[in-house]
Amino acid sequence: MPRPVTLFTGQFADIPLEQLAKKAAAWGYDGLELACWGDHVDVARAAKDKKYAKTRVEILADHGLKVYAISAHLAGQLVCDPNDDARSDMFAPPACKGNADAKRKWAIQTMKDTAKAAENIGVKTVNGFTGSPIWHMIYSFPPVSDAMIEKGFQFFAKTWNPILDVFDKCGVRFALEVHPTEIAFDIVTARRALKALNNRETFGFNFDPSHLHWQMVDPVKFIQAFPDRIYHCHMKDAALTLDGESGILSSHLNFGSPGRGWDFRSLGRGQVNFEEIIRTLNTINYGGPLSVEWEDAAMDREFGAPEACRFVRDLDFPKSGRVFDEAFSEKNK
């Protein structure tokens, strides 16, 4: 059976869910990965109001769609982020503006609510970010000691373990989208994050090859490194556009800017080797959704979303249960 093809609604959160569901069905999707912002999922409400949570499922069902996961990237980011500038003010309630501790307290409670919301909606996976207290130390000047980095991983574990306890109680898993500015952004740091949590099964990964590709980390090797921790899969493309002037740190140029060293691309229009990714997902028996996270600053999203759906459908194929020439030996039995 083909894996369901879904659309992450984060880049479409300005469109009311009823309207987006109608569009997504017409574009050919099987379901939606619901963002916990816009009007798509109010997690505080869904955690307490089962009738409201059920409406998320019913709206999709009216258009022949299902929900396989919800995503809480914004609140998750503030759990471990330093929260010490105006960027994080965008993600928290106005009352938390400029107050790092208030933003963190809100984020922790919101992530706990997200686990309960997922349970009430009826999904087993929440995708999202963790934030990182040490990302700003990525380049070791002023000098960064090993002890400072270890302290950051300890802070991550101390802060996230109580959240994951709630996930356990709700029977829901958390899938970190491995991504720069998170505690884990490549294979090495993903291993270290798991170790910091004593490898608790509640915590795994939302595999997104685009964030690995531009760092020149092999996405296939990521799947091979964590075959039992790929809890969800984003389909997103990217391209290195290095021209000798700008590097992979992007020179403070915004997405879509000429001269930027890398950028996201609509599926099939970048450099990610999705053929090998599908083959490797088959090897680890991943049967979950292939969720399109559409991002391309140079393309209209309502052109890109249906094209991306077609790309994934054409690409995906089931795993074989036999070697092709076994038919010869069977014929001679």
pLDDT of residue 251: 96
Each residue of 272-304: b (16+ CB within 10 Å) or e?
A: bebeebbebbbeeebebbbbbbbbbeebeeeeb
- Mean residue pLDDT of the chain comes to 96
329 pLDDT band, cuts 50/70/90, is: low
Whole-angstrom distance, CA of residue 294 vs CA of residue 181: 20
Q: What would the pLDDT profile of 31-77 be if each residue is shown by its tens digit? A: 999 999 999 999 999 999 999 999 999 999 999 999 999 999 999 99
Residue 325 has pLDDT above 80, yes or no: no
Q: Is the pLDDT of residue 333 over 60?
A: no
Q: 10: domain CATH number?
A: 3.20.20.150
pLDDT score at 1: 62
pLDDT for residue 322? 76
Number of domains the chain is built from: 1
Cis upstream peptide for 142 (omega within 30°): yes
How far apart (Å, rounded) are the C-alpha atoms in residues 320 and 311? 21
Rounded distance, CA 330 to CA 170, Å? 48
In the prediction, which pLDDT does 2 show? 84
Residue 323, pLDDT score: 73
Closest CA to 193 of 108, 213, 185, 105: 185
For 238-259, how does the pLDDT look when each residue is reduced to its tens digit (9 = 90+)? 999 999 999 999 999 999 999 9
Taking residues 90-95, report their average pLDDT: 96
> 3-class DSSP state for residue 320?
coil
Measured in whole angstroms, how far is the alpha carbon of residue 61 from the centre of its chain?
23
DSSP bridge pairs for 177 = 206
- According to DSSP, residue 68 is labeled E
What pTM value is reported for the model? 0.96
Kindly report, residue by residue over 135-154, the tens digit of the pLDDT: 999 999 999 999 999 999 99
pLDDT band at 306 (very low <50, low <70, confident <90, very high): very high
pLDDT at 27 over 70: yes
Q: Which two tokens stand for residue 177?
A: 């989208």
Total residue length of the chain: 333
**Residues spanned by the domain of 224:** 5-331
Amino acid present at 316:
D
CA 34 to mean position of chain CA atoms: 11
At residue 321, the pLDDT reads 78
pLDDT at residue 280, rounded to an integer: 98
- With contact defined as beta carbons under 8 Å apart, do 160 and 197 qualify? yes
What's the number of CA atoms in the CB half-sphere (13 Å) around residue 303? Answer: 7
